[in-house]
Amino acid sequence: MHRISDEQRRIRIGRRHLLAPSVRAESPVAVADAVVALHATDAATVFLSACARLRVPDAAAVERSLYEDVSLVRLLSMRNTLFVVSDETARWVEASNARAVAAKERRTLLKHLAEDGSGLDEQWLAGTETSVLAALAARGSATGSELSAAVPALRTRITVFPGKKQETVQGVASRVIRVLAAEGRIRRDRPRGSWTSSQFRWTASEPRPGEELERAQAELALRWLRSYGPATETDLTWWTGWGAGQARKALATAGAEEVRLDSGATAWVAPRDHGPDPAPEPWAALLPALDPSAMGWADRGFHLPAEHRAALFDRSGNIGPTVWWNGRIVGGWALRADGEPVWRLLTDAGREASAAIETEASRLAGWVGTARVTPRFRTPLERELTA
């Protein structure tokens, strides 16, 4: 069995995730494809992750890809989480993950409507959705508040979890919009504010033609292995949210090959991908909270020292902004209110690393300007650096 060392895994991150300067991309679409999917729970993460990997960082180029040519697509997919993927990759993500997520979202909403006891049912929901789509067709785009003003049914309030400890009264607008978006019938348009804003407008969209489930899962597993392999079956089930049986079948259908890690564990790579990647030049990176390179594996021990977790993760297990040196996480960073990056090393990485990190911090400050960027999931070190 071929063996792939932890050092080779770190080399692959620098080269395949487009983090070494010599391999940076020309377009946001190329970035998304290199890492398969960009985390989009926090609106700013998409821009920070993409620009860290672009030869010329350009927030406007990311906006054009998201809102003008729509070559980047937001999908509620893996682990019921919002991601941005290329339009070409979207067909596989939709079939392998997003379709099931959308079906679950609809079932959940219908269950809440039935439990409310006010007679709201599937027919009511269908009529409300038709009204929302008609309002968007008339307006072109609208915020959630504007849609609620135009569609009275969206102002309906229901009791969720009646009779239970978590009982609460909620409006249905966000839930109806979430279902329509999950099904691809509407999509997020430009936000009301800057690229850091999460207050999106909505516009009509068309659901994608369906791909066959098992074929889509095999294709997604193959793309993920090319970017994140070697990786274990546990890593794949964690990243996708699939069951172990689904992951095992996807690996087999994709033709994945077994390799041995330094830990002695068995892992998987794409077919014939067990040879060494050439090491790139030394590189540093300042990656945002929930960046794909930090979130690609369940077991991150080969690039993240266990003693750094307390400073870099929040209580829910979300990783914050990280400083990288040659494939290892060596510290964290934050942006102050005036846009100035500030960082701290948790590992003594040496003078060369400090100089390279300083260069990346200047590069980041150059394109961020005076934008205010506060991670949605704040970590102890990020809070401390901005205090």
**Rounded to whole angstroms, how far apart are CA atoms 316 and 337?**
25
Q: Is residue 112 part of a domain?
A: yes
What tokens does 83 get? 């991601």
∠167-170-173 over CA atoms, to 5°?
150
- C-alpha atoms less than 13 angstroms from C-alpha of 237 in its C-beta half-sphere: 11
- C-alpha atoms less than 13 angstroms from C-alpha of 105 in its C-beta half-sphere: 23
Spell out the residues 6+ positions from residue 46 whose beta carbon is closer than 8 angstroms to its own.
Answer: 38, 39, 40, 62, 66, 84
Task: Measure CA 292 to chain center.
Answer: 7
Domain with 159, as residue range(s), is 88-204
Q: Is residue 134 part of a domain?
A: yes
Q: Is residue 356 part of a domain?
A: no
DSSP one-letter code for 78: G
Cα→Cα distances 26→7, 36, 44, 55, Å:
27, 16, 20, 6
pLDDT (tens digit, 9 = 90+) per residue, 209-243? 778 999 999 999 999 999 999 999 999 999 999 99
| Residue 105: closest CA among 162, 188, 181, 201 | 181
Cα→Cα distances 101→183, 219, 292, Å:
9, 18, 21
Q: Is residue 180 part of a domain?
A: yes
Helix (H, G, I), strand (E, B) or coil at 279: coil
Cα→Cα distances 241→33, 78, 124, 267, Å:
20, 6, 32, 18
Query: What's the pLDDT at 321?
Result: 97
Helix (H, G, I), strand (E, B) or coil at 193: coil
Encode the chain (387 residues) as per-residue pLDDT tens digits: 899 999 999 999 999 999 999 999 999 999 999 999 999 999 999 999 999 999 999 999 999 999 999 999 999 999 999 999 999 999 999 999 999 999 999 999 999 999 998 899 999 999 999 999 999 999 999 999 999 999 999 999 999 998 898 989 999 999 999 999 999 999 999 998 889 998 899 999 988 877 899 999 999 999 999 999 999 999 999 999 999 999 999 999 999 999 999 999 999 999 999 999 999 999 999 999 999 999 999 999 999 999 999 999 999 989 999 999 999 999 999 998 888 899 999 999 999 999 999 999 999 999 998 888 888 889 999 999 998
pLDDT (tens digit, 9 = 90+) per residue, 11-45? 999 999 999 999 999 999 999 999 999 999 999 99
- Residues 102-117 as b or e (16 or more Cβ within 10 Å = b): beebbeebbebbebbe
Give me the CATH number covering residue 178.
1.10.10
Q: Is residue 164 part of a domain?
A: yes
| CB contact at 8 A, 187 and 181 | yes
Query: What's the pLDDT at 249?
Result: 97
**Considering Cα of 17, then 360, then 365, then 377, what sign does the dihedral take?**
positive
Q: Is residue 158 part of a domain?
A: yes
Q: Is residue 110 part of a domain?
A: yes
**Rounded to whole angstroms, how far apart are CA atoms 200 and 349?**
41
What tokens does 147 get? 């849609």
- Pairing state between β 3-4 and 257-261: parallel
| CB contact at 8 A, 33 and 86 | yes
Q: Is residue 109 part of a domain?
A: yes
| Phi, psi of 371, deg, nearest 5 | -60, 140
Helix (H, G, I), strand (E, B) or coil at 271: coil
Name the domain count of the chain.
1
